[in-house]
Amino acid sequence: MFKRFSQYIRNIDRKDYRPKFGGLEILKYLGPGLLVTVGFIDPGNWASNLGAGAQFGYALLWMVTLSTIMLILLQHNVAHLGIATGLCLSEAATKYLKPVYSITILITAIIASISTSLAEILGGAIALNMLLNIPIRAGAILVVLFVLIMLFTNGYRMIEKWIIAFVSVIGLSFIYELSLVNIDWNSAIHAWVTPCFPKGSMVIIMSVLGAVVMPHNLFLHSEIIQSRQWNLQDEKTIKKRLNYEFLDTIISMIIGWAINSAMILLAAATFYKVGVEVTELQQAKSLLGPLLGIHAGVVFAVALLFSGIASTITSGMAAGSIFSGMFSEPYDIKDNHSRLGIAISFVIALLIIFAISNPFNGLIYSQMILSIQLPITIFVQVWLTSSEKVMGKYKNSRFYAISLYLVGGIVTALNIALFISFLH
């Protein structure tokens, strides 16, 4: 009798931890990718994409496509790390790199997370200013307080549900906005697949890249995945989980691509069409009213508020993951290292917000900083996931490793082009 009961309990355990790969079961495994998606439809993206559409029309849509393709490769790869090893990117760097290298790399990642938090908090504050006329600095404090409550009172699964709701609101808002304008779809389709470098566009191009392929998202995705501890399961389950993780990544990144593209399309069909350059998000809202009706401006501001709050949540989680990983620990909101990482990111971001005079430029340049740090994170990630010592039999294939290094090379080349553009 006791043996039968023990076997029954083991069967329940296997049912809880092994995915049933059929019907609607896949919906249980969608979530980590959407948390990452929020990171690249954040207020920094809004500034970069609206700036791109207002200044250059449809011409820079190709950068959203290229960035999303690179993002899919990188996010799947870093999730692969979490599934196969049970380590997030920060923990793996600490474990397998010499301390002098790992600490230096992770410090640059923390700087990137601060830059990210700056954009997210600032975006939420700008939205509150649009909707309720709350001063930017006061709004920034309110956003941080709300996000801290969310982080300290919810676990991963509940936050995933909140994020899915937030992404839905943002997506529906842009569907509504696009329904009000006339899009030149032939020009848009051509621009999505045709690289173009208009004069004076390098800062915007790099800000779009940094806003889509964000360093903190690579750390965050590996952290969320490793928290499931799939590496403790049997080989068959790990392989199936890898397959479904890729589907989760594909679906989530396509949603992000669509929303980012919608921002550029909206700006191109409104501001670029009438020759207006957008220099702040508040201006975008005030201009949308006369062009598309008062409700368009309000919907724009509400979507921005949801974007700011949701992305601040994920940037805080990423900062906590990076900092705790320096101590070989996973992210845990109850652990002091995770809390300290969140505090460092939010407090320094708030101090910068209190110091800057032009919030819109702050959003643009915060994204550019991310693109500068990005090659560091990419090359470290690819080295780790291509190492048999780290990944065992799940290491990158030679073709996949070359593809990932090529992505890192493209990002590096764009950074060099940005530097050259400043010299001229």
Over residues 89-119, the pLDDT tens digits come to: 999 999 999 999 999 999 999 998 898 898 8
The pLDDT of residue 13 is: 35
Per-residue pLDDT at 256 exceeds 70: yes
pLDDT bracket for residue 293 (50, 70, 90):
low
Per-residue pLDDT at 346 exceeds 90: yes
The pLDDT of residue 1 is: 42
The pLDDT of residue 9 is: 34
DSSP state of 263: H
pLDDT, greater one: 49 or 341: 341
Residue 197 tokens, joined? 């470098």
On the 0-12 / 13-18 / 19+ scale of CB atoms within 10 A, 109 is buried
> 35-80, pLDDT tens digit by residue?
667 666 777 677 778 888 989 999 999 988 988 888 888 888 988 8
Per-residue pLDDT at 87 exceeds 70: yes
Residues 330 and 124 sit within 8 Å (Cβ to Cβ):
no
- The DSSP-derived string for 143-175 is HHHHHHHHHHH--HHHHHHHHHHHHHHHHHHHH
Percent of the chain with pLDDT over 90: 27
Specify if 4 maps to a domain.
Answer: no
pLDDT, greater one: 184 or 26: 184
Q: Report how many domains make up the chain.
A: 1
Helices assigned H by DSSP within 86-155 = 89-96, 99-132, 136-153
On the 0-12 / 13-18 / 19+ scale of CB atoms within 10 A, 274 is exposed
Specify if 230 maps to a domain.
Answer: yes
The pLDDT of residue 304 is: 85
- Give the list of residues 6+ apart from residue 144 with CB closer than 8 angstroms, or none: 121, 312, 346, 350
Specify if 216 maps to a domain.
Answer: yes
> 363-417, pLDDT tens digit by residue?
667 766 777 788 899 999 999 999 999 998 889 999 999 999 998 888 888 777 7
Cα–Cα distances in angstroms (integers) from residue 203 to residues 191, 294, 401, in the given order: 18, 32, 29
Specify if 402 maps to a domain.
Answer: yes
Residue 133 sits in a domain of what CATH number? 1.20.1740.10
Distance of CA 109 to the CA centre of its chain: 14
Mean pLDDT of the chain: 80
On the 0-12 / 13-18 / 19+ scale of CB atoms within 10 A, 309 is buried
Residues 191 and 407 sit within 8 Å (Cβ to Cβ):
no
The pLDDT of residue 224 is: 77
Percent of the chain with pLDDT over 70: 78
Per-residue pLDDT at 7 exceeds 50: no
DSSP state of 233: S
Residues 104, 99: Cα–Cα separation, whole Å: 8
The pLDDT of residue 234 is: 61
The pLDDT of residue 30 is: 56
- For the ranges 23-27, 49-53, 259-263, 289-293, the lowest mean pLDDT is seen at 23-27
Q: Which of 342, 338, 91, 93 is nearest to 226 (CA)?
A: 91
The pLDDT of residue 233 is: 56
Range of the domain at 242: 29-423
Specify if 185 maps to a domain.
Answer: yes
Helices 294-325 and 89-96, axial angle in degrees (round to 10) = 30
Q: Which of 164, 66, 127 is nearest to 308 (CA)?
A: 127
Specify if 100 maps to a domain.
Answer: yes
> 189-229, pLDDT tens digit by residue?
999 999 888 888 877 887 777 667 778 888 887 887 766 55
